[in-house]
Structure 1
């Protein structure tokens, strides 16, 4: 069975350290949601959002406390709709960074996530808590009055946005061949040496993601005991710590075998090291991080998409690899039900966006209709 990723363990530590500065009712909320199998990463993001909200309450004079951990429940109960709408405007208008005189503000998605986190907290406090009298801590939930916008794009529009930033069928093969045979050719000696040290590992990482559609956190958490070469499948841990088994393309499993043949000699891990994909840090082997995998994918896809006219190509993310696998699945005739299971989606709504991925196929249908009407 796949074990927890380094990121999950790190997020667990960060979450516990952040809770020291949170009010008791927030700590209670986090404990309850952990029991409900919310991911640690999600809860860590929520705590960051709560911290920003409590600090805003202080800065606006809505609380008279020295430290946000002392923010009383009574303040949350009496907040007005106007107060909360002002906070939403603050999130939308705050300058979060500035580079070369370009000011960056939060995306609409980021604002919605922040408000959704507070909606979850207020819903818990007003419906799921219980005091010594068997009553909820309070009942007035002002965040119920705040509407968080939903994505207005159609399924087809969302799908075509995806299709513009993924690898097509031929490109997947070309990209993997490029990693195996082309990338190193133009590298200076030092960079080439580093690449060759990790070549089999990086090819296996990327091939496994493109050959199964797993998330980057899932591949980072892969353990030696979770691989079944005979059945060409791997055991992984999905969001919410759900155990699952997914099939992998035979070619990707072969790339994984090539890496495992050199893993011990190349990285010299401890005998009890369970994680498959390793990195060298200060001379010692350790599980590769999610961020390191993301950086590798960005580096290789940027190089693959570069050409002589435009030196810097467009970089893709591991999540785009997931989209690439899903779109290829659909184009090759795979059904939505099986794709949902392969990707580990909890609903069909998430999966069905891939059924509209090909504008070329849509054009063929349009052309066919046109030809029959003449």
Structure 2
């Protein structure tokens, strides 16, 4: 299996940051990487560990020369109130970027510069990362005597409270940003024919004419499979089965899987594959499906590039742009509305927990309204 340049860069970045971490964090990363946790997730976790360890040092809660030299014995004796203090600090830390003042900048009054705080998503990610590390250290490690490094897990005492919002309410909020059947059809036609009308320069129009068949295939594939951006970026030519209408992919956690594809998406995909080499000379040397040419060199599209492609077209077609994940949601809702089974949808989307998939059974509010209207007619 080929590894995308993007994943290779993430792995290199992970290795670089691990060099500044204590040995037991390096062991954790190696263990979880072997178990299938993605480099992307591990990199995000290491970022959170670095922030936490630096805070412990700056506040004098541990004694060490630097982050790399913090012994695990300090984590063994860490108190619950210290961790809670850190979580509160995380929520209240001003993360506004400090810009250097120079003669070209306008000197806005200091009072007008409002602080910027982290969202709860980062706080939740930090807690999740620390829980994972402490679980590993207290359950999976082995010293020379075959014992865990320590057994007191302070993170097991940290309780997180889930959002009390109901699944129905979350579904209704999400329902407002997905595409309905007519919008999906109109949007795809816009990519194929209408987008050029929004362009002014000859260069932009020329670039659009080169890329539109590829870009249409990307958007159609998301709307025709519900695949994640990372999965689409890593599709290899050898794993596409046009006649059987499925694609072999690698899911989150490096799990191999096969994804069924709508016939309409197969048509656009085949159309792209027919012109792939002529539009992007040298493409046949790349194992990856979606490519572009930079400086005369063919390169696979990264996740960020695919996100930008989707955002470019959705921003031009809708009042507000829609992320690839919104297109994925649109596929899922359409699947349920078309009579699809929630178990089949779970497998199609690659969810590991049916609870995640169950959100989509609540998203068809119009269907619920139809039922209520029918009830009224009979009363």
TM-score by length of 1: 0.94
Kindly indicate whether residue 24 of structure 2 is the aligned counterpart of residue 11 of structure 1: no
SS of the aligned residue for 1:246 comes to strand
Distance in structure 2 (CA, Å) of the matches to 1:89 and 1:136 = 30
Offset at residue 265 of structure 1 (A): 1.6
Name the counterpart of 2:223.
210
Distance in structure 2 (CA, Å) of the matches to 1:205 and 1:3 = 20
Offset at residue 369 of structure 1 (A): 2.5
Offset at residue 279 of structure 1 (A): 1.5
Offset at residue 272 of structure 1 (A): 3.1
Offset at residue 270 of structure 1 (A): 5.6
Contact 1:112 1:149 in 2 (8 A): no
Name the counterpart of 1:236.
249
Offset at residue 368 of structure 1 (A): 2.5
Contact 1:30 1:43 in 2 (8 A): yes
Name the counterpart of 1:259.
272
Kindly indicate whether residue 333 of structure 2 is the aligned counterpart of residue 320 of structure 1: no
Contact 2:277 2:283 in 1 (8 A): no
Offset at residue 190 of structure 1 (A): 2.1
Offset at residue 271 of structure 1 (A): 4.3
SS of the aligned residue for 1:234 comes to strand
**What do you get for the CA RMSD once the two structures are aligned?**
1.5
Offset at residue 88 of structure 1 (A): 0.3
Distance in structure 1 (CA, Å) of the matches to 2:118 and 2:205 = 39
Distance in structure 1 (CA, Å) of the matches to 2:18 and 2:282 = 34
Alignment size in residue pairs: 365
Kindly indicate whether residue 62 of structure 2 is the aligned counterpart of residue 63 of structure 1: yes
Name the counterpart of 1:172.
184
Name the counterpart of 1:82.
81
Offset at residue 15 of structure 1 (A): 0.8
Kindly indicate whether residue 142 of structure 2 is the aligned counterpart of residue 136 of structure 1: no
Offset at residue 98 of structure 1 (A): 5.5
Residue of 143, 164, 172 corresponding to 1:152: 164
Offset at residue 151 of structure 1 (A): 2.9
Offset at residue 148 of structure 1 (A): 1.7
Contact 2:95 2:117 in 1 (8 A): yes
Assess, with a 3 A threshold, how the Cα gap between structure 1 residues 300 and 103 changes in structure 2: closer, same or farther. farther
Name the counterpart of 2:36.
37
Q: Deviations over 1:222-259 (max 9, x none)?
A: 11111111111111110111111111111111111221
Distance in structure 1 (CA, Å) of the matches to 2:184 and 2:5 = 28
- Summarize the alignment of residues 260-279 of structure 1 with structure 2, pairs less than 5 Å apart: 260-269=273-282, 271-279=284-292
Distance in structure 2 (CA, Å) of the matches to 1:65 and 1:227 = 53
- Summarize the alignment of residues 258-337 of structure 1 with structure 2, pairs less than 5 Å apart: 258-269=271-282, 271-305=284-318, 313-337=319-343
TM-score by length of 2: 0.93
Name the counterpart of 1:345.
351
The 10-residue stretch of structure 1 (132-141 or 3-12) with the greater mean CA deviation from structure 2: 3-12
Q: Deviations over 1:15-34 (max 9, x none)?
A: 11111111000001111111
Q: Deviations over 1:287-335 (max 9, x none)?
A: 0110011111111101101xxxxxxx21111111110100000011111
Name the counterpart of 1:309.
none
Offset at residue 72 of structure 1 (A): 1.1
Distance in structure 1 (CA, Å) of the matches to 2:368 and 2:96 = 41
Residue of 343, 354, 370 corresponding to 1:364: 370
Kindly indicate whether residue 228 of structure 2 is the aligned counterpart of residue 222 of structure 1: no
SS of the aligned residue for 1:244 comes to strand
Contact 1:227 1:234 in 2 (8 A): yes
Kindly indicate whether residue 116 of structure 2 is the aligned counterpart of residue 104 of structure 1: yes
SS of the aligned residue for 1:103 comes to coil
Offset at residue 347 of structure 1 (A): 1.6
Assess, with a 3 A threshold, how the Cα gap between structure 1 residues 24 and 144 changes in structure 2: closer, same or farther. same
SS of the aligned residue for 1:144 comes to helix
Name the counterpart of 1:47.
46
Unaligned runs of 5+ in 2: 99-111
Distance in structure 2 (CA, Å) of the matches to 1:31 and 1:149 = 30
Contact 1:5 1:217 in 2 (8 A): no
The 10-residue stretch of structure 1 (290-299 or 356-365) with the greater mean CA deviation from structure 2: 356-365
Name the counterpart of 1:308.
none
Offset at residue 370 of structure 1 (A): 2.9
- Summarize the alignment of residues 116-135 of structure 1 with structure 2, pairs less than 5 Å apart: 116-135=128-147
